[in-house]
Structure 1
């Protein structure tokens, strides 16, 4: 076996049907979607509206509620900066969590420089916020609650339906970063009263560089100004020439979404064999509700960075792809109460429909060998085994 790719929370392999859908808009259907005076432009425009319908269908939303972006980072910046600007007369308070994606945390820090205040809700050992604490923190100055649906490092699912209802009762906007949840678990915006949410194509076997922002149509419209101004694309909400091939790819990826037990069965098989094979291994948040494809594994006294270098044929991650080069321990695991050492000794494995049990078996063999080799040469491991630490 040449290579095993277990880093699907970072990005996914593009689906063949998605690629086939995209290629014509890079070759024969190359018109500018805003040039609807001629056939080429109309072909591109039709592709975009088809994709809008496909994405809306995957969320049970109205196509008019879907706006295309370059991905979740742009969407997060658009929402947090836009709401902060537009609703400043109402209030200057945002609530988020300490384990959010860095895009949310950094965007909040950015608007704090302009007079906003942010409450970072703590999370418990399972990575969950306290709903009563959320209720207590909402005040008459709160304009936005931003809580992710599923954590990218641990897979933990926040109770987004309950959060949405609390925000609805308090008349506060609820923005949900659904980047990791989308495509892995059902998400129906008619059943869950989320006001705004974002998704990215490359997490669901679509192309990189494109995503979508859902903004609920309400009797009192949600006011979010454009982050990128230019032409009248997306009704003036997001300027710039349409990347038609990418948007068409997102639409097809959304249309290909299916939910079954396969991913969870694969993840559970991996965890079972790993626990049976390697001593002193902990699966973080194993008992919590989490994504069916994600395992965050702590190998006691084995640095994740060292383990990865000994697994050249296996793609895994030490955390979020956006911060995996950072020398600091995972802020997510730290927020959950883990020590620096425990955070540094953890790796994330995330699976997709393209993985198999054969790959799992191969990977377990490679991981076992690598862990044994590292521990045999580790004085700290020897001291631990002798009960000295």
Structure 2
């Protein structure tokens, strides 16, 4: 079997003063690798505002062109969103395809979607993104022409025809996705009639949600040390012997900084599992130094989908690989989340450390709801004071 060589790409980041600017372009590099690309060089610059024509300015664009020639790169990836005009101008200047972070995330989602619903959601998000592009990146849609009323009329320009074709494709995809949403709604109503307590795993991508999901329910959901390993929602029953009850546990797609709004809209059906949950397990990569920023990004997405008011338990995962500087004094405590005192537990989904305590906290959450305990009391009640041990005893 011939060896497949990953296409070489140049990574570009522009510091516009945003607090979360990734000076090392580490996340963009991970996204590129996840998409099957090979980053060979990185270049960053600082600007007060993007250049209207080339985003980075002509001098920096010339530097990028020299890097392309030096490394034999076939594509350039920007960490920020580009306007259609900037993208077109850069491609002319660099004589290479140029894509941005949004397109890269969409490509990864397109590669990873497995279920019928997931594929529809990705298709809709890509169509919505492409509809804003002036460059012709959707020529494959021409093969879908045919039938009455699909041909352009006299005097209709190619760009008008393209826009009408993509508009029709968006309409068809939305209709198909709506039917899937209705099916999901029916399934949720059936669970509600059974009065099932529902729990959803949410968190930044690669925080270990799927590994934790597998550890809790002994399932075999796909889990890997990569971005967006899971795209399709998986739901299983989890029996909690401490409360003598089964709860519905759902694993959802991971969030990421600057998640394309089109994806949030398109994945509304999948993220609806989080919106309708009784409790969110907010999984955090405890080994990451940037976990505070990642928590903020997740909370922003939860707010956008209307799930920010749902009670949460913060699950700081990967405690087995935490640095000494990040190691906590207690395995269970509380953390202030948007002004709300939230229970926090440290676990390792890989080794199983802390899973028993997490199951106990889940059981308490179910019992507290039965007793209609106020949310202000729940945070303290969910923490088991019998297990306030230290990481190093």
- Under a length normalisation based on structure 1, what TM-score does the superposition of the two structures give? 0.29
Judging by fraction of residues, say which structure has more strand: 2
Higher RCO structure, 1 or 2 (CA under 8 Å, sep 6+): 1
After TM superposition, the score normalised by the length of structure 2 is: 0.28
